[in-house]
Each structure stands twice: as structure tokens, then as C-alpha cells.
Amino acid sequence: MYAPQPAQLYAVREHIAGNVRRLRAIVESPSFRRGVGELEGERLQRVPRGFAADHEAAEYLKFRQFLAGRSFPSTLAATPKFHPQIVAVFKQVAPLARFLNEPLVGHS
């Protein structure tokens, strides 16, 4: 999620606040860490207004962007190994994408 609108970002943060264990199970799992590393993106210095500074999801509530992926050398794209490796990354990121989209389904 690269540049959510303010209302979308608020909805995602509310979702994170209420489901932090699910988010942690996704982004802190060994397979996620092995496949794509850590969740990245721009973050606020402080927990956003409306959320307690000591909220158990505080570090995730600071995110303004939610980025996950993996870089490969360009030479890999022309080999038979590329397709299975890129599919593996998509499989690792898909649960995160589904989680982040849950509060947005049916909203514009």
C-alpha cells in the first residue's frame, strides 16, 4: 500500500489496532522474514492522533506506507528460476495485501 488516502489510512490503522496479533503473525513469521524481510515504508515519529502511545500495535500504527517485497538481480529475469522465485514472493506478500485491504473492501 504505497499512498493511501487519509480516510483509507485511518481505516487500515483502525484495522491494525483491532487485529495486531493477525498482522504480527503475517509480518513477523519466519517465512515472511525469509522471503521478503521486514515490513517497510514511511513512518510517523509518533503514534498518530486517536491511538494510545502505548498501544500494543504502536509501531505498526506509525506506518504511512506498507511495503513488502524483494529485489532480484536483473539477470535472473531471463532465467527459468525467475518465475518460481517471483511466485514465492507473491505468495508471501499476499496475506499482508489481503489483511491491509480488508477494511477497504467496498469503500472508495
Please give, one letter per residue, the 3-state secondary structure of 61-99. HCECCCECCCCCCHHHHHCCCHHHHHHHHHHHHHHHHHH
Calculate what percentage of the chain has a pLDDT beyond 70. Answer: 97
- pTM of the entire structure? 0.89
The pLDDT, as a whole number, for residue 107 is 52
Between CA 36 and CA 106 the distance in angstroms is: 29
Q: What residue segments make up the domains of the chain, in order of their start? A: 6-104
Phi, psi at 43, each rounded to 5°: -135, 155
- The residue type of 84 is P
Average pLDDT over residues 11-21: 97
Q: Where are the alpha helices (DSSP H) in 1-81?
A: 6-18, 20-27, 30-36, 58-61
pLDDT in tens, 58-67: 999 999 999 9
pLDDT in tens, 22-55: 999 999 999 999 999 999 999 999 999 999 999 9
Of the candidates 76, 66, 69, the residue with the CA atom closest to the CA atom of residue 12: 66
The pLDDT, as a whole number, for residue 106 is 67
The pLDDT, as a whole number, for residue 108 is 47
